[in-house]
Amino acid sequence: MTGTIFGCIADDFTGATDIAGLLARSGVQVSLRIGVPDSPLTRTSPFEVIALKSRTAPVADAIAETRAALAWLQGAGATRFFWKYCSTFDSTAEGNIGPVAEALMRDLGTDQTVYCPAFPENGRSIFMGNLFVGRQPLAESPMKDHPLTPMRDSNLMRLLQPQVTRPVGLTDRLTVARGVDAVQASLAYHRADGVAHVVMDAVADSDLETIAAACRDMPLMTGGSALAMPLPALYLADGLLSKDAPRQATHEIDRTTIVLSGSCSAMTNAQVAAYIAQGVPSYQLDPLTLTQSGPQAVLDWLATQDLTDAPLIYATADPASVKAAQAKLGVAQVGALIERTLAACAVAARDAGARRIIVAGGETSGAVTKALGVSQLDIASEIAPGVPWTYCLSAGTRIALTLKSGNFGTETFFSDAQAKLDQP
């Protein structure tokens, strides 16, 4: 029987479900922990993922929390580790991607790691070190207006170098296309030249398979979730993962549903609009009104809803509206206010009988899961690439919970999620 062999640390909650869902495509049991567990080790899975809320935290706090997660995963038996961040490399000049990676490298005693946020299935690719969102360079995509981490440069080496203390290099697409030996030779060349941080080009799933195969013995890999997807098969072939490893479980969950959306990404705006167009009951949160009157109005509205209609509560808005609210109230204040309100709505919906909770937005997902008191999730069926359903306990009740990164999914995601859970 395989114990825990692989430990992943994600810098937000939707990113954690993203990588957990892709690992679960293997059929092997994947467990997702909300924050660093504070209880002794009990049941662990072959693949353990720890979800942090550290993407925009102060650098020192992000490092401390990530190192604690690493120590827990080492205690669970993991020998391979993955630092998972967003496929759009969300960060600032200070971090937190680079500083956390260097802290993990020190703790693991390794002098080199790789960076590859590519996710071709979701339109994220890297060519000559430049990250593309679909056909747009990152700095020309909607990410340029992200309210917390506006991305104004597309070149990953330039983005990463201010965040780290050691040199940054590139293994380009031409090298990756030549196969595993060429990638390993490139890494060895960089290591001899003192390069500790190597950005990896990838434009197709086959590139990620090559990179994963070349790097699978590294103590630490970093990147988006798609880079980890080939690892279960590689570990099985290497004998690191046993053929009798435990498999995923399924549960029947009532159809009572609440949809909560805090993301203001372009895709989530489209998803909210498409869902409202279906005629579902919906309530839009306004930060200025919440500041003046608090959340009671939306809680009163929620109390009148039939949860079998899967009502929607959303703060999703266009960039201009977001900036206007931030200018009046402050960036951090607006985000915290929306997170608290949607978290309160999640608890109220659960107490009213909601057993399926759909959440859009990384920061919102973090607030909701903490408010629900969720500490561990078992990964279930995938709704869209990188977005699975999960099963968990909240206040002693089993619920189904999905946490969607803002840019993931198609326009029909909220309906797709409900239909997926109804499939046999």
- Which of 9-18, 40-49, 55-64, 315-324 shows the highest mean pLDDT? 55-64
Domain of 227 in residue numbering reads as 6-238
- Mean pLDDT value across the chain: 92
pLDDT over 80 (residue 424): no
Judged by average pLDDT, the poorest of 91-105, 147-161, 274-288, 308-322 is: 308-322
Same domain, 194 and 261: no
- CATH number for the domain including 222? 3.40.50.10840
Span 339-395, pLDDT tens digits: 999 999 999 999 999 999 999 998 898 899 999 999 889 888 889 988 889 999 999
Q: What's 308's domain CATH number?
A: 3.40.980.20
pLDDT at site 40: 62
| pLDDT, tens digit, 9 for 90 and up, residues 290-329 | 888 999 999 999 999 999 999 999 998 877 787 887 887 7
Position 25 in a domain: yes
> 48-66: buried (b, 16+ CB within 10 Å) or exposed (e) per residue?
bbbbbbbbbbebeebbebb
More confident residue, 13 or 123: 123
Confidence of residue 1 (pLDDT cuts 50, 70, 90): very low
Q: Do residues 58 and 25 share a domain?
A: yes
Indicate if 166 and 279 belong to the same structural domain.
no
Domain identity same for 288 and 388: yes
- Which range is least confidently modeled, 24-38, 174-188, 204-218? 24-38
- Mean predicted confidence (pLDDT) in 255-269: 93
Residues 43 and 176 in one domain: yes
Does 79 fall in a domain?
yes
pLDDT at 42: 67
Residue 98: its pLDDT value, please?
A: 97
What is the tally of structural domains in the chain?
2
